[in-house]
Chain A
Amino acid sequence: MRHPNDGELRRLLDEAWVVPAPLRGHVQSCERCRMHIASLQADAEAAQALFGTEGTTDAAAARERFALNLGKGLAPVRSAAPPRRLPYWRIAGGAAAAIAVLAIGFTPIGSYAKGLLLIFQPQSFKAVPIAPSDGAALPNLRQLGNLQGVRNIRLSPAASLAAAQAAAGFKVLAAGQGVPANLGSPVYAVMPSQTESLQLSASKVAAYAVQHHLQIPPLPADLAGSMLSVTTGPAVVTSYGGSLSTLGASGRMPQLLIAQAPAPKVYSTGATVQEIEQYLLSIPGISPQLAAEIRSIGDPTRTLPIPIPIGRALSKTVMVNGAQGLAINDQTGIGSAVVWQKNGMVYTVVGSLPESQALTVAQGLH
């Protein structure tokens, strides 16, 4: 078997499933190719860091502005909007993604309207390998429906652990062993309860199909009428070596983050999580490997998939004080995370520290 050329190796990093299996197999067994693809990967990651990730934009407002531009004839109307800050995700990277997993949904059930059906209450986590191109292929839910409610994670500083506990309304665990002494004192922040709702829209699905030139099956009637609602309940984030609440200003991630929140719950007015999963996986562009991984989860109402970028992170199952969790490291030694659930609470430790030390911090929470 010949060595793949640079173009094939480069595509292997982005769209592995289109590279012939014999070439993929060769790369896995050939040390020279593995070393070479690592250098390609380093350049790709450096470029990704420079170009950043997608920011937000308001297409409807842009459409109104476009109408004004058309009316005026030639030059486009200059935007009066203030310049955007560097997107949070662009700075925060993978650690923020782990926090976002927590922010998917935390609970208070009490305020929920009658008729809502609890469809998602994960008891465990499963690592799902995801190619970078899968990230691009997976539709953003905003592209498939109408999203309402708060969209950003808002964190308010708390003066102490006791203050954070009072604001959140649950017992907040304190860190003990494993926290590097040079990181100084912890800083606490509380994310208040928020609600986000999504109503899948047949017209938006159609527009998505036009945009991506895809043959997407029409949205089933019961899905089109369904409203998915997520309440993001109070979460407490303890940070060392920087404050998450001032992240946008400083541009630096704290060295260590500990997030605690009640386990996520998602409600629907009709559709089951299986129906939603089945439909999303029917959208072309998602690699067969990813679809198979997600389907293999079994009962999706009990397991939260955690995306693990292929070639960029590794994961393994760990035990944290008697609870099963997931340890993730980014293969570079720069960062690692431990996620676990116990007594209805989800905990995450994320930091610029080795996996073993992250696990020590996790086990030291009390």
Chain B
Amino acid sequence: MSRIDGGPVGEGFDALFLAEWPRVVGIARRVLGSGVAAEDAAQEVFLAFYRRFGNALPERPGPWLYAAATHTALNVLRGERRRERREQLEGQKAQALLDPAGAVVAREAERELQCALRRMRPMNAAILALRYAGLRYQEIAQTLQIPVDQVGTRLRRAEIALRKEIGNASSERR
């Protein structure tokens, strides 16, 4: 059993960690790609959660975790954690040595998406990450603290913004 500040990590927190870990990582991966940075971001989310709540779990921990996952990942993406990004890039270089063709495909697709997310409004980037990580509209509404009947409209706006960002990036390359 782990301890922090003299107290043991309770079974409730353990169950929550095991249950929510895949989803928190999934959200971070939508922003940071398939590298190790997403798992690092998810670790930070759970550390922050544990420091804030300890074993006194809130009634609905999910929305807090999902919001934190989105914010943490977007912060990393926006360069506030440059060291982590450097480490991820080093990892990608290693991957390129092992699997050159696959690395090119993966890196290019992820780079394109990450550039677009970095340029988008945070709300747009957040709702895309949440939806494509598999959250339902009700869960997205709770996470972003917006009415559920606005989720579809905002998601639609975000998808249009993403299309434009990707389109702009493609025209700039030509």
Q: Which residues of A contact B (CB under 8 A)?
A: 5-11, 14-15, 18, 40, 43-44, 46-48, 50-52, 54-55, 57, 59-60, 62-63, 65-67, 69-71, 76-79, 81-87, 91, 133, 135-137, 143, 203, 206-208, 210-213, 248-251, 285
Contacts and interface: CB of A to CB of B under 8 A. Distances in A.
Contacts, number: 177
A5 B21 contact: no
B106 interface: yes
A218 to B, nearest CB: 15
B162 interface: yes
Contact of B102 (A15, A40, A70, A251): A251
Contacts of A6: 152-153, 156
B113 A44 contact: no
A66 B152 contact: no
Contacts of A91: 105
A249 B96 CA distance: 10
Nearest to A63: B17
A65 B40 CA distance: 10
Nearest to A58: B21
Given A9-B152, A57-B21, A83-B92, A76 B101 contact: no
B40 A210 contact: no
A57 B163 contact: no
B132 A51 contact: yes
A14 B162 contact: no
Given A44-B159, A59-B18, A248 B152 contact: no
B19 A7 contact: no
Interface in B123-141: 128-129, 131-137
Interface in B16-60: 16-23, 25-26, 29-30, 34-36, 39-40, 42-44, 46-47, 50, 60
B153 A10 contact: yes
A281 to B, nearest CB: 18
Contacts of A251: 101-102, 105-106
B87 interface: yes
Contact of A47 (B34, B112, B128): B128
Instruction: Say whether chain A's binding surface is mostly helix, strand, loop, or mixed.
Output: helix
B41 to A, nearest CB: 9
B102 A83 contact: no
Contacts of A55: 29, 34
A15 B136 contact: yes
Contacts of B92: 83
Contacts of A69: 43, 47
Contacts of A81: 36, 39
B14 to A, nearest CB: 7
Contacts of A43: 156, 159-160, 162-163
A87 B30 CA distance: 13
A179 B132 CA distance: 36
Given A5-B153, A6-B152, A43-B159, A59 B94 contact: no
A66 B134 contact: no
B36 A137 contact: no
Given A50-B112, A70-B4, A251-B101, A11 B47 contact: no
B150 interface: yes
A66 B46 contact: yes
B3 interface: yes
Given A7-B151, A70-B50, A250 B29 contact: no
6 smallest CB-CB distances across A and B, nearest first, come from A7-B153, A7-B152, A251-B105, A51-B132, A211-B19, A10-B152
Contacts of A50: 109, 112-113, 162, 166
Contacts of A78: 36, 40, 87
B62 interface: yes
A82 B91 contact: yes
A11 B40 contact: no
B99 A15 contact: no
A250 B25 CA distance: 26
A143 B152 CA distance: 28
Contact of A70 (B9, B34, B149): B9
B152 A63 contact: no
A290 to B, nearest CB: 14
B109 to A, nearest CB: 7
